[in-house]
A and B are shown apart, each in its own frame.
Chain A
Amino acid sequence: MPETLVQIEPKPPRGDWRNPKVEFRKGAMCYSAAAKNLTYLGLPNPRAWQPADSDWKLPPDWKKIILDGMKDRLAKYRSFRLFMDICVRCGACADKCHFYLGTADPKNMPVARAELIRSVYRRYFTLTGRLFGSLAGGRELTEDVIKEWFYYFYQCTQCRRCSVFCPYGIDTAEITLIGRELLNLIGCNINWVMEPVANCYRTGNHLGIQPHGFKDSIDFAADEASEITGLDIEVPINRKGAEILFVMPSADYFATPHYYTLLGYMMLFREIGLDYTVSAYASEGGNFGSFASHELMKRLNAKIYDEARRLGVKWILGGECGHMWRVLHQYMDTMNGPADFLEVPVSPITGTVFEHARSTKMVHICEFTADLIHHGKIKLDPRRNDHWTVTYHDSCNPARGMGLLEEPRYILNHVSRRFHEMPENTIREQTFCCGSGAGLGTDENLEVRLRGGFPRANAVKYVKQKHGVNLLTCICAIDKATLPTLLEYWVPGVEVGGIHELVGNALVMTGEKERTTDLRGEPLAREEVMAGGESEAAHA
C-alpha cells in the first residue's frame, strides 16, 4: 500500500534541555576563524579546526579558562550577573525570536539560549547549584556544552527583540556577546567575524581594502554621481581642517545595493555644500568587534575618535548602519571618549544644534537629513521615486538601541509618494531581524539565515501582496548585504535599498542635468521624466 511506503517517525521532542548534543550540518553553520586572523589580533588558541570536527582542539585547561572568564565578567557586568539570577522562565520571550519562529527549535527560545550559560553559572557560582546540582538547575561544564554554546550563540543576531518583551528587560544580546567572549577565550570563533575584525584592524575596513583601493572606490562613485547629475562631485579623503568627518560602513563603497546609498550621500553633501571629509584610516563604521567581544569592539571603534582628533574636525556624521550605530550610540563615548576635542554638533546649513549628541558629538545621517528637509533646505521631487512602492524595515539596532524610528520615516514620506508600513508587530521596536546580523551573514550559513529571516520576509510578502511593494528600505549595511538574498528566496520581486538612495533620486540639485534614470541606472517612469524638467520643490 502506498501509504505505508513512506513512513517517517515524527520528530522526537528535544526532551530534557540539559542534553547538550547538537549536530553541525553543512549549509547551516559558520566556519571557524582562520588561525592567521587570530594570530594577527593576538587572540588565544589559533589552530585549524571546524565545528563539525569531533575534536575541537581546546586548550588543556579550557574549563578553568571559561570558569575564570565567567567569574571575571560576573564581577564586571551588572547586566550579566543580574540576568543570570532573575529570569523566572515565564516564556514571554519565546515566540519573539526570529530564529525560534523560523527553525521551530525550542532551544532557540531566548530563555533557553540564556539557560545554556545560566545552568553553568548555577552549578559553579551559586550555593544552591553547588549543593543540589541539577535539581537547582545546574549543569556540568563539558566539551559538549561548549559546542552547544557555539551552536546557539552563533544562532543569535543580538537583535534584542526579546528584551523588549521581557518583564525584567533581560537582554539576550548581552548574554550572547558575553557567551561569545567566553568562547573567544578558548579560540572558538567564526571566520566571518574574525576576518573582518582583523581586516578592519589592519586596513581600516572589513574587506581589507587598502588606502589606494579605498580612494579608487570613492573616486569611482564620485565620478558616477557626477555623471548622473552632470555636476562636478568630489569626495575629500583625509582632509585636515574639514568641519565634519563622515563615517560610513565600508560596504557602502564596495557592495550593492549599499553603493546607491553612497551616491545619495555624495549628492546630498554636494548640494548643500557640506565641508566634510572621509577617512581612509577610519574607513569602517560597522564594528565587527561588537560581534565578538567588548575589547575588540573598543579596539576597532577607537579609530573614529583618534582620526577625528588628528583631522581636527568639529564633529562626526555617521552613515546608514545598524550595529555601527549601536556602538556609536551606546558604547563609543564610554569606551573611547570623552570627545572633548570636538564641538557640540551644529548643522552648518540649518543652524540646528544637535543637543542630543552633545557629548558623543556624532549625529546620524537620518537625523541630519530630516533636519534639512524640515527646514526646507533641499528641494525634493518624490515623483522620481514613483517606480518604487516602498516599505521600511526598521533595522534592529537603530530601533531598539537608539529609538531612531521617526526620522527615516519622515525622510521617506518626503522622497516617496508610495510608502506602506508592514504589520504593526513587525516594525519599530518590534521589528524582525534580517536573520543575518552579528556576524552570521555568511554564505556557508545561508540556510540558518533563511530560517531566521523568514518572519521578516513573511511580513514583506504581506505588503507586497497587499500594496505591491517592490522596494524594502532600511538603514543597516548588513540588511542591505543580506536581505537581497533573503528576499530573492522568500519574496522574489522585492529589492532592497537605503533611505539616502531615495534621497539621491529625489534630490533636485542646482544646475543638474535632466535625470532620465535613477541611481541604479534604471529609467524613470514616463510621467516622471515628463515632470522632470519643471520639477517643483516638494518639501514641507
Chain B
Amino acid sequence: MNALYSVLVVLALVLAGLAGGRVEAGRAVLTLAVPYAALAIFLVGFFARVLRWAWVPVPFHIPTTCGQQKALAWIKPSKVDNPSSRWGVFARMAAEILLFRSLFRNNRARMAEKRLILGESKYLWLGALAFHWALLLIQLRHLRLFIEPVPAWIDGLERLDSFFQVGAPQIYLSDVIVLAALAYLLYRRFRDPAVRFISLFTDYFALFLLLGVAVSGVLMRYFVRVDILSVKQFALSLAAFHPIDPSTLNPLFLAHLLLVCTLAAYFPFSKLMHMGGVFLSPTRNLANDSRRRRHVNPWNYPVKKHTYAEWEEEFRDKLKAAGIPLEADDAGNARTN
C-alpha cells in the first residue's frame, strides 16, 4: 500500500510536469516559483535541521567502540575503529561517510562456505555505496549547466564517466550505476519481507522520487534528446536570478525539474537528512577517551543521594558490631584521628 501510494504521488508529479509546460501560467510556476521555492525550502530546511541537532547538547560520551582501546602502551590499539585521537575520529568518520564502513562489517563465518561469497548484506553495502557515489558524480556533472565556461575538471569527470565510450551519445557509467543501484535498493525493500515490514511510505517515496529523477534524466539524454543549449541557458539565467522565457523548454525537462524540486523541498523533512545527520552521530564522532579527558554535560544537575553520613547513621550499630571504622561517634561528632 505504502509503495503504491508513493508511486502514484511520483506519477502525479511527472504528469503535472508534463502537462504544466503546455500552458503559459503552468510554465511560469514550474520554471520560476517552484525552483526558487524549492531551493529556499531546501537551504533553510536543511540548515535549520542541522542547526537544531547541533543545538542539542551531547550530555554523555557514548562512542560505540569497534576495536581494541588505547590503554596499555604495549597493546596495539585499533586507531580507526576505536579512535582515541582527533585524527582517529577523522579517519573513522571518513571511512563511515566515504566507504560506509559499518555497513561493510557484515562478515559471514568462513566455515559456512568454502569460497568467498558476497552475502546479501554485502550487496546492501555495494548497492548503497554505488548509489551514493554515482549520485554525487551526476550532481557534479550537472554543474556544467550552471557554469560558463565549463571548468576543466568537469570535463575531466565526464571523460572519466564515459570511459567505455559506448553509444552515441556516450553512455555515462554513473547513469547506469545509479539506475541499477536504485533498482536494487527498491527490489530489496520489496523482496525481503523483514525490510518490507518496517518500510514506510516515506521509504518508498524517496526511492521512487529518485528513480523518477534518474529515469527522466536518462530519457532526456539518450532517447528524447532535449535541446541541451536551451536548458543551459535556462539554468544559467536561473542561477543569475534573471530567468528567461521558458517557452522553448521540453515538457520532459519540466517534469525532471519538478521532480528535482520536489526532492529538494522534501529533503529537509525526510530521512534523507541522514546526509547531514551522519556527521553528528555521537556514537561515531567522539574519540574513545572518556577516561583520559572529562566530557562535560552542560545540563548536569545535582541529584538526591544517600550520603555516607546518612548511611553510617542508619547502620551505626551494625557497623560498630562488625568493627568497621566509623566517622562520627554516637553523639554524632566527627571523630578526630
Binding site for B on A (CB under 8 A): 13-14, 17, 42, 74-79, 81-82, 85-92, 94, 106, 109, 111-112, 115, 126-128, 135-137, 160, 163-171, 174, 201-204, 210-212, 215-216, 237-240, 280-281, 294-295, 298-299, 302-303, 306-307, 310, 329-331, 333-335, 337-338, 352, 354-360, 362, 367, 370-371, 374, 399-407, 410, 423-425, 428-430
Contact: B198 with A333, CB < 8 Å?
no
Q: Which of B49, B75, B280, B322 is within 8 Å of A407, CB to CB?
A: B75
> What 3 A-B pairs are tightest by C-beta distance, nearest first?
A403-B69, A86-B277, A169-B283
**Which chain A positions have C-beta within 8 A of B162?**
none
Which residues on A sit within 8 Å (CB–CB) of B105?
164-165, 430
The answer, among B106, B109, B273, B282, for a CB contact under 8 Å with A79, is: B282
- A428 CB to closest chain B CB (Å) equals 8
Q: Which residues of A contact B58 (CB under 8 A)?
A: 77-79
Interface residue? B278 (CB, 8 A): yes
Chain A residues closer than 8 Å to B305, beta-carbon distance: 299, 302-303, 306
| Contact of A164 with B64 at beta-carbon distance under 8 Å, contacts A94-B195, A212-B322, A423-B109 already known | yes
B294 contacts the other chain (Cβ, under 8 Å)? yes
Instruction: For the complex formed, measure the closest distance between the CB of A134 and the CB atoms of chain B, giving whole angstroms.
Output: 8
Using a CB–CB cutoff of 8 Å, the interface residues on chain B facing chain A are 5, 49, 52-54, 56-62, 64-78, 81-82, 84, 96, 100, 102-103, 105-111, 121, 124, 128, 192-195, 197-203, 269-271, 273-274, 277-278, 280-284, 288-297, 299-300, 303-308, 311-312, 314-315, 318-319, 321-325, 327, 337
Offer 7 A-B interface pairs, CB within 8 angstroms, sorted by A. A86-B277, A168-B278, A280-B324, A333-B294, A333-B295, A354-B71, A359-B291
Given A86-B271, A306-B305, A334-B60, answer yes or no on A112-B291 (Cβ-Cβ < 8 Å). no
CB distance from A221 to the nearest CB of B (A): 15
* Contact assessment for A424 and B294 in the assembled complex, using a CB-CB cutoff below 8 Å: no
Closest beta carbon of chain A to B293's beta carbon, Å: 6
Which of B52, B68, B192, B293 has the largest count of A CB atoms less than 10 A from its CB? Answer: B68
Q: How far is the CB of B156 from chain A (nearest CB, A)?
A: 30
Is the beta-carbon distance between B278 and A167 smaller than 8 angstroms?
yes
Asked if B271 and A88 sit within 8 Å, CB to CB, the answer is yes
Q: Is the CB of B308 within 8 A of A307?
A: yes
Assembled-state Cα–Cα distance A367/B337 (Å): 35
* A402 & B292 in contact (Cβ 8 Å cutoff): no
Chain B CB count within 10 A is highest, among A165, A240, A428, for A165
Residue contact A370 to B60, C-beta cutoff 8 Å: no
The verdict on A360 contacting B291 (CB below 8 Å), with A128-B269, A211-B319 known, is yes
Question: How far apart are B125's CB and chain A's nearest CB, in angstroms?
Answer: 8
Does the CB pair A137–B300 fall under 8 Å? no
Contact for B121 among A17, A92, A423, CB less than 8 A: A92
Q: Tell whether, in the assembled complex, residue A335 and residue B102 are in contact, meaning their CB atoms are under 8 Å apart.
A: no
Q: Which residue of A lies closest to B64 (CB)?
A: A163
CB contact under 8 A between A166 and B102, given known A78-B57, A334-B300: yes
Is A160 in contact with B124, judged by CB distance below 8 angstroms? no
A330 x B62 contact (CB < 8 A): yes
Closest-CB distance, A83 to chain B (whole angstroms): 8
Contact B294 A401 (CB under 8 A): no
Q: Which chain B residues lie closer than 8 Å to A403 at the CB level?
A: 65-69, 77-78, 82, 288
> How far apart are the CA atoms of A354 and B71 in the complex, in Å?
7
B270 surroundings in chain A (CB, below 8 A):
128
Beta-carbon contact of A87 and B271 below 8 Å? yes
B290 touches A329 (CB 8 A): yes
Contacts of A76 in B (CB 8 A): 56-57, 59, 299
> Chain A nearest CB: distance from B290 CB in Å?
5
Asked whether A168 and B294 contact (CB < 8 A) given A76-B299, A91-B192, the answer is no
Residues of B within 8 A of A75 (CB): 56
When distances are taken between beta carbons in the complex, the residues of chain A under 8 Å from B107 are 424-425
Flag if A167 contacts B103 (CB, 8 Å).
yes
A215 to B321, CA, bound (A): 11
Q: Complex Cα distance A367/B68, Å?
A: 12
Q: Are A211 and B318 in contact (CB under 8 A)?
A: yes
A281 and B322 CA atoms in complex are apart in Å by 14
Alpha-carbon gap, A111 to B197, bound state (A) = 11
B66 cross-chain contacts in A, Cβ below 8 A: 164, 400, 403, 429
Residues of A within 8 Å of B324, CB to CB, are: 211-212, 215, 237-238, 280
Which A residues lie within 8 Å of B327 (CB)? 310
- Cα separation A215 to B324 with both chains bound (whole Å): 8
Q: A169-B281, A407-B75 are in contact. Are A356 and B308 (CB under 8 A)?
A: no
Does B274 lie within 8 Å of A356, measured CB to CB?
no
Q: Identify which of B198, B304, B325 contacts A42 (C-beta below 8 A).
A: B304
Cβ contacts under 8 Å, B77 to chain A: 403
Q: Which residue of A lies closest to B307 (CB)?
A: A306
Check A302 against B303 for contact (C-beta < 8 Å): yes
Q: Determine which residue in B283, B304, B337 has the highest number of CB atoms from chain A within 10 A of its CB, and name it.
A: B283
B311 touching A204, Cβ below 8 Å = yes
Q: Provide the bound-state CA to CA distance between A14 and B196, in Å.
A: 12
Whether the Cβ atoms of A240 and B198 lie closer than 8 Å is no
In the complex, what residues of A have CB within 8 A of residue B273's CB?
85-86
Closest to B290 in A: A330
B37 CB to closest chain A CB (Å) equals 16
Contacts of A17 in B (CB 8 A): 197-198
The residue in chain B whose Cβ has the minimal distance to the Cβ of A216 is B322
**Closest Cβ–Cβ distance, residue B74 to chain A (whole Å):** 6
Hey, which chain B residues are within 8 Å of A112, CB to CB?
197-198
Contact B111 A337 (CB under 8 A): no
Please tell me which one of the listed residues A13, A82, A164, A407 contacts residue B102 in the complex, with CB atoms under 8 A apart: A164
Instruction: Name the CB-closest residue of B to A337.
Output: B294
Contacts of A237 in B (CB 8 A): 324
